[in-house]
């Protein structure tokens, strides 16, 4: 029986397989310690076969980070586009954001590892992510201001403040928690702090 899939679909399938295998290795051993040979062995293929799809390890890692970023913002867009009220959206946004980033080990490492800052791609990644997050937060805050739930004088600045606060809390939050239950408790504490003075009483 001959293969009826077009070559493009086959290439995309193999690329995704490589990305998934590399994603696990990068998460377990880190970018620096993972080699092209490691990825090839995980796939039970020769190292030369990887170069048909990717130029080098950096390009594979870039694909992994892009995939994880897409996963994150896909979930955040669902929260923002839901039928919930603005207060519920903001709460769910923060929970979803923190829990998802906590699970996307490579994405978090890429954003926090100064050693990776020399790569132009990671600078673009941070800028892109910051702009996307600002847009989503602005949408929530505008909805809450319009229905008189939030009291915000400058929505864009408030969105920047929220995003900055969340980024600043990522590393200490993730490092200090040994289990997922503790993690959820601390997220609730963060929500209480962030909402204080924002919700009209």
pLDDT digits (tens, 9 = 90+) for 3-61: 343 355 567 899 999 999 999 999 999 988 999 999 999 999 999 999 999 999 999 99
Share of the chain above pLDDT 70, in %: 80
Per-residue pLDDT, 198: 54
CA gap 130, 162 in Å, rounded? 11
Residue 189 pLDDT level (bands cut at 50, 70, 90):
confident
Residue range 176-187: average pLDDT?
A: 66
pLDDT digits (tens, 9 = 90+) for 113-139: 655 555 677 778 778 888 999 999 999
Give the pair of three-digit tokens for residue 113. 């590892």
Q: Highest mean pLDDT: which of 93-97, 164-168, 185-189?
A: 93-97
Per-residue pLDDT, 2: 37
CA gap 182, 172 in Å, rounded? 13
CA gap 95, 51 in Å, rounded? 39
Residue 164 pLDDT level (bands cut at 50, 70, 90):
confident
Question: Is the pLDDT assigned to residue 143 strictly greater than 90?
Answer: yes
Give the pair of three-digit tokens for residue 147. 């229905």
Whole-number Cα distances in Å, 44 to 65, 83, 109: 23, 46, 27
- Residue 59, classified by CB atoms within 10 Å of its CB into exposed (0-12), middle (13-18) or buried (19+), is middle
Instruction: Measure the CA angle with vertex 14, ends 10 and 17; round to 5°.
Output: 140
Residue range 59-85: average pLDDT?
A: 95
CA gap 172, 47 in Å, rounded? 38
Residue range 171-187: average pLDDT?
A: 66
Question: Is the pLDDT assigned to residue 106 strictly greater than 50?
Answer: yes
pTM: 0.80
Give the pair of three-digit tokens for residue 168. 């600043």
Question: Is the pLDDT assigned to residue 193 strictly greater than 90?
Answer: no
CA gap 51, 61 in Å, rounded? 14
The stretches of the chain forming alpha helices (DSSP H) are 7-29, 36-43, 47-50, 57-80, 86-103, 105-112, 120-146, 155-176, 180-195
Share of the chain above pLDDT 90, in %: 50
Q: Which of residues 167 and 114 earns the better pLDDT score?
A: 167
Query: DSSP state, 53?
Result: T
């Amino acid at each position: 029986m001959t293969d009826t899939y077009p070559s493009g679909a086959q290439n995309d399938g193999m690329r995704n397989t490589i990305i998934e295998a590399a994603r696990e290795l990068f998460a377990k051993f880190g970018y620096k310690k993972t080699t092209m040979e490691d990825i090839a062995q995980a796939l039970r293929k020769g190292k030369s076969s990887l170069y048909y799809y990717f130029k080098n390890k950096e390009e594979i890692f870039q694909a992994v980070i892009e995939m994880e970023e897409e996963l994150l913002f896909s979930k955040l867009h669902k929260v923002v586009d839901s039928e919930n009220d603005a207060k519920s959206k903001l709460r769910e946004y923060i929970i979803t954001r923190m829990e998802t980033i906590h699970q996307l080990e490579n994405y978090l490492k890429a954003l926090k590892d100064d050693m990776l800052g020399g790569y132009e791609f990671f600078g673009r990644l941070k800028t892109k992510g910051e702009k996307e997050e600002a847009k989503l937060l602005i949408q929530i805050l505008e909805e809450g201001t319009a229905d008189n739930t939030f009291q915000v004088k400058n929505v864009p600045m408030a969105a920047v403040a929220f995003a900055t606060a969340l980024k600043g809390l990522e590393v200490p939050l993730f490092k200090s928690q040994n289990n997922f239950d503790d993690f959820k408790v601390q997220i609730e504490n963060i929500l209480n702090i962030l909402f204080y003075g924002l919700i009209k009483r």
